[in-house]
Chains A and B, each alone.
Chain A
Amino acid sequence: TEITWKIPSSVPEGSFFYNNFLKRFAGHVGDLTDNQIKIRPFGAGVVVPAFKVYESVQDGIVEAGHSTPSYLVNQDPTNAIFASFPGGMSPEATMAWLYEGGGLERMQAYRSEKMGLHSLIIGVGTSEILAHANKPINKIEDFANLKYRTSGAWAGVLKDYLDGVPTVVPSGETYTLLQRKGVDVVEWATPGSNLSEGFHEVAPYIIVPGIHQPTFVWEIVLKTETWDKLSPELQTKVEAAARVTTMEAFLHFANADIKAMDTYRDFGNEIITLDKSVLSVIRGYGHQWMKARAKEQADKGNNSMNVILDEYLAYQEAWSRNSGVFVRDAE
């Protein structure tokens, strides 16, 4: 029997994220299951509103959904651990934690308990660009009073610890506002996917690395009943498709990032790499911010954020203690 899943995404059809995560996954599922499961992907805003993907799966409007835990952070900040946060783990460490360090099991258990959903990770991103900026940023003090287009946890850290001025800008107006210097700084996504946004054409400075969003995670969610109804063979195949998608997409992102950075450099952008000391201060603030959220949750009687964050930070600590063992290609 043939199964068809309508899967709406939170990103527009044809966009970098859509092609690399959802479209790739749809192709692999078709191939690996011999088309026993067919996926019909839809871009953001076509079938359901971009930020209602999780809810529409829970409501049974669609069989599955493609979104990121970032959109659930306001509801429950525990999701910031899964989505990555300022000062969180590097992409490689995140992947290791998720797939080998018990992170994915944690996330699946959490989804199923809190939302009745089964989660499959199909995207772990490379680090974002910290800032396309009209002003140079070199030290902590430079963040003060910066009008900074951002959202999520970084908006909180910026406001609470760095005296920056996080600003909400409608996505369609971001380029124009940066060009007209209505905002000093825009953070958006990874180097490779930012290329078509054209921010580098209007703002001279590019600040890296993306300590505000070292990586990010995209998932496919289905109702647990939908998942449980699949035969174990099909479950294995769909899981394999998800893993292959994560790996391929990551490599594609990384390769595109390297090329994009050269493009920015050739275009004449000044690329500023923040000093280790500056990064370490920001990382500290990020951790503080997350711990404060976990405490708020615990005070409300939900201790799970505390537990998961402790595990996460312990894994990050182990990775940073030992990451000297990995050869880096730095000059």
Chain B
Amino acid sequence: MIELIPVWMFIALFIFVFAGIPVALSLIIVAAGFGLMVFGDSLFLQLYGSILHTASNFTLSAIPLFILMGALLEQTGLALRLFKALQLWMGRFPGGLAVSTITMCAIFAAASGVVGAVEIVVGMMALPAMAKYKYDQSLMAGTVCAGGSLGTIIPPSIVVVVYSSMAQLSIGQLFAASLLPGLIMVVLFILYILIACRINKKLGPASPEADMVPLKEKLQITLSAIIPPMLLITAVLGSLLLGIASPTEAAAVGAAGAALLSLVFRELTMSKFINALRTTIKITAMIMLIVMGGTMFTSIFAVAGGGWMITEWVDGLNMGSYGLIFLLMAVVFVAGFVLDWISVVLIFVPIFTPLVNAAGIDPIWFAVMFMVVIQTSYLTPPMAPSIFYLKSIAPKSMTYRHMYKGVMPFVIIQLLVLIIVVLLPSVATYLPGLITSR
């Protein structure tokens, strides 16, 4: 029984979560319960460490700022104007807004590595717009979740940075390695949306009436609607890409810029501002509490011997390279259902690295597969951080059914990318091979 604590922890967690207890509380309760067995009375001191660890994480402090930026743009209607203008131009293409959403997510992902924040910022802007043009709820959900997951694989990604320091790999090489798979994924996402919307016209209806608007008026609307948010996004991205601000600091630029824009456009009333703050507080607390619960769960799992258990188990199976890869990927996939990526990386990279090296598997290739799988499990129902986050910003009419149905095609595309990387390792290893001299 005691030796099996790591297994029981997952079972207990699934029971609490499916009993409808808030995910964050489920993680905390399970960690505290099993922690009592491992640590006895110093349990609270120990878990307080997890609270402190989460509370003093600098990277996480970007989350409220990014959310505030999204909430301001959404509350003041600036985001909707942006998407309306986009629809003017892309209206004749079925699924045009969904493609814009994926593109915007990819651009955000290329600028920063804060995974959940991208989904929420772009989601808050894109969901009302897609809803207005009668997009299918599932497609909306899938697009936002899938787009939001891109931050993991598109460099620079903080997931990659943490991974490389633990596996003793070059950060630059891993960034280069994940670039092609990331691009392939974006292209496949967009292709899927275009094809699916062409086949089923109800998914992302075209609005040909947009073509009736005279060009002059179109340009006018576009200038007034696209320019301001574009300025803001350029400011955020520009400050990132030019190295003026660190990814976290850019979030502050974004939030302040959004407030400034709303003021300039006289859209910012006190009540809208307070609403934006309320949304920010609720969503931030929701995300942070899940991360805190995940950190607690991870620490008890590790101390209870979860790591050794997996090592022994895998060693005992004695399988070939591909079998080993499959097994390790399956483990990451299951763990990623509930745990945030940082916990998954902290637990599994140190366990896997020696196994991978012993089997003679190219560590860079393996790392890329690991990233794709983390990203996929972030997206895969029933338990998926991407869906937890979407739920916090989704309109009431969007149900879990919509969400689950919506993400499935994107999960399949990600698995397809995984298969491509498995069968064609050079997709991952070609670019890093180029960084051998300047």
Interface residues of A (CB under 8 A from B): 6, 12-16, 42-43, 45-49, 52, 56, 59-61, 169-173, 175-177, 179-183, 195-198, 201-202, 204, 266-269
Q: Which of A47, A180, A197 contacts B299 (CB 8 A)?
A: A47
**A15, B59: Cβ atoms closer than 8 Å:** no
Given contacts A52-B49, A268-B438, contact A170 B58 (CB under 8 A): yes
Which residues of B (399-438) have their CB < 8 Å from a CB of A?
Answer: 435-438
Contact (Cβ within 8 A) B248 A173: yes
- Give the contacting residue for B173; candidates A49, A61, A198; CB below 8 A: A198
| List of B residues within 8 angstroms of A195 by Cβ | 170
Q: A226 to nearest B CB, angstroms? A: 14
Min CB distance A118 to B, Å, is 20
Sample 27 A-B pairs with CB under 8 A, ordered by A number: A6-B303, A12-B165, A14-B167, A15-B165, A42-B303, A45-B346, A47-B46, A47-B49, A48-B49, A49-B52, A49-B53, A56-B49, A60-B45, A170-B58, A172-B59, A173-B158, A173-B246, A173-B247, A176-B246, A181-B242, A182-B244, A183-B243, A198-B173, A201-B170, A201-B435, A202-B172, A267-B436
Q: Among the interface residues B52, B161, B169, B245, which one has the most CB atoms of the partner chain A within 10 A? A: B161
A13 to B352, CA, bound (A): 12
B257 within 8 A of A: no
Which residues of the partner chain B approach A173 to less than 8 Å between Cβ atoms? 59, 156, 158, 161, 246-248
Give the residue name and chain of the B residue nearest to A51 (CB): B56
Query: Given contacts A14-B349, A46-B302, A196-B169, is CB(A61)–CB(B49) below 8 Å?
Result: yes
CB contacts (< 8 Å) of B23 on chain A: these are none
Closest to A168 in B: B58
How far apart are A15's CB and chain B's nearest CB, in angstroms?
6
Q: Is B162 an interface residue (CB 8 A)?
A: yes
B303 touches A47 (CB 8 A): yes
State the Cβ distance, B275 to closest chain A Cβ, in Å. 31
Q: Mark B290-304, 1 if CB is under 8 A from A, else 0.
A: 000001001100110
The 8 closest A-B pairs by CB, nearest first: A180-B243, A182-B243, A198-B172, A13-B350, A201-B172, A49-B53, A14-B166, A198-B170
Q: Flag whether B192 is at the interface (Cβ < 8 A).
A: no
**CB atoms of A179 and B166 under 8 A apart:** no
B334 contacts chain A at the CB level, 8 A cutoff: no
Q: Across the two chains, which residue of chain B brings its CB closest to A197?
A: B171
Tell whether A45 pairs with B245 under 8 Å between CB atoms, given A61-B42, A175-B172: no
Interface status of B318 (Cβ within 8 A of chain A): no
> Would you give the shortest CB distance from B139 to chain A, in whole angstroms?
33
Distance of A47 Cα from B169 Cα, bound (Å): 24
* B353 within 8 Å of A (CB atoms): yes
Residues of chain B in range 271-325 having any CB-CB distance to chain A below 8 Å: 295, 298-299, 302-303
Cα of A56 to Cα of B52 in the assembled complex, Å: 12
Contact of A182 among B161, B245, B349 (CB under 8 A): B245
Is B10 part of the contact surface with A, judged by Cβ < 8 Å? no
- By a CB distance below 8 angstroms, the chain B residues around A176 are 156, 243, 246-247
Q: Tell me which residues across on chain A come within 8 A of B347, comparing CB atoms.
A: 46
Q: How far is the CA of A6 from the CA of B158 in the complex (A)?
A: 28
Question: At the interface, yes or no: B129 with Cβ under 8 Å from chain A?
Answer: no
Is B164 in contact with chain A by the CB < 8 A criterion? yes
What residues of chain A lie closer than 8 Å to B298, measured between beta carbons? 46
Which one of A6, A195, A196 has the highest number of Cβ atoms from chain B below 10 Å of its Cβ?
A: A196
Given contacts A173-B246, A175-B156, 11 further A-B contacts (CB under 8 A): A6-B303, A14-B165, A42-B303, A47-B49, A47-B303, A170-B248, A172-B59, A172-B113, A173-B59, A177-B243, A267-B438
Interface residues on chain B, number (Cβ under 8 Å): 48
Main secondary structure, interface of A, reads loop
Within 8 Å CB of B156, what residues of A? Answer: 173, 175-176
Residues of B within 8 A of A267 (CB): 436-438
Report the minimum CB–CB distance from A4 to chain B (whole Å).
Answer: 11
Task: Establish whether residues A175 and B167, one from each chain, have CB atoms under 8 Å apart when the complex forms.
Answer: no
**Other-chain residue from A46, A201, A202 in contact with B346 (beta carbon distance below 8 A):** A46
Tell me the smallest distance from the CB of B68 to a CB of chain A, in Å.
Answer: 20
Chain B residues lying within 8 Å of A266, measured Cβ to Cβ, are 437
CA distance A260 to B59 in the complex (A): 30
**CA A140 – CA B169 in complex, angstroms?**
34
Min CB distance, B436 to chain A, in Å? 7
Contact A61 B246 (CB under 8 A): no
Among B156, B246, B437, max chain A CB count under 10 A is at B246
CB neighbours (8 Å) of B154 from chain A are: none
Interchain nearest-CB distance for A173 vs B (Å): 5
Residue of A60, A170, A183, A267 most packed against chain B (CB within 10 A): A170
Taken together as a complex, chains A and B put the C-alpha atoms of A12 and B347 apart, in Å, by 11
Give min CB distance, B384 to chain A, whole Å: 23
Chain A residues with Cβ below 8 Å from B170 are: 195-198, 201
B148 smallest CB distance to A (angstroms)? 19
**CB-based contact B241/A180 at 8 Å:** yes
Asked whether A13 and B166 contact (CB < 8 A) given A59-B45, A175-B171, A196-B171, the answer is: yes
Q: Say yes or no: A46-B299 contact (C-beta < 8 A), given A15-B166, A172-B158.
A: yes
- Complex Cα distance, B194 from A208, in Å, reads 55
A170, B246: Cβ atoms closer than 8 Å: yes
Q: Is B8 an interface residue (CB 8 A)?
A: no
A170 to B165, CA, bound (A): 14
A196 touches B168 (CB 8 A): yes
Residue of A nearest to B162 (CB): A172
> In the bound complex, what is the Cα–Cα distance between A12 and B342 (angstroms)?
12
CB contact under 8 A between A172 and B166, given known A43-B350, A46-B298, A204-B438: no
Whether A182 and B346, one on each chain, are in contact in the complex, defined by CB atoms closer than 8 angstroms, is no
Q: Contact flags (1/0) for B45-66 with A, using CB distance below 8 Å?
A: 1100100110010110000000
The residues of B that contact A268 with a CB separation of less than 8 Å are 437-438
B168 contacts A16, C-beta separation under 8 Å: yes
Contact yes or no, A45 B53, CB < 8 A:
yes
B437 / chain A contacts, CB cutoff of 8 Å: 266-268
Residue of B nearest to A201 (CB): B172
Q: Which residues of A contact B165 (CB under 8 A)?
A: 12, 14-15, 171, 196-197
Residues from chain B with a CB closer than 8 A to the CB of A49 are 49, 52-53, 56
**Chain B residue contacts of A171, Cβ below 8 A:** 161, 165
Taking the closest CB of chain A, its distance from the CB of B170, in whole angstroms, is: 4
Q: Using Cβ atoms and an 8 Å threshold, which residues of chain B touch A177?
A: 243, 246
Q: How far is the CB of A146 from chain B (nearest CB, A)?
A: 15
Query: B93: CB under 8 A from chain A?
Result: no
Q: Is B240 an interface residue (CB 8 A)?
A: yes
Bitwise, B208-251 to A at CB < 8 A (1) or not (0) is: 00000000000000000000000000000000111111111000
Q: Kindly report which residue of chain A lies nearest to residue B242, judged by CB atoms.
A: A180
Measured CB to CB, the closest approach of chain A to B297, in angstroms, equals 11
> Does residue B16 face the partner (Cβ distance < 8 Å to A)?
no
Q: By the criterion CB–CB under 8 Å, are A172 and B52 in contact?
A: no
Per the bound structure, the CA–CA distance linking A176 and B155 in Å amounts to 10
Taking CB atoms, residues of chain A closer than 8 Å to B89 are none
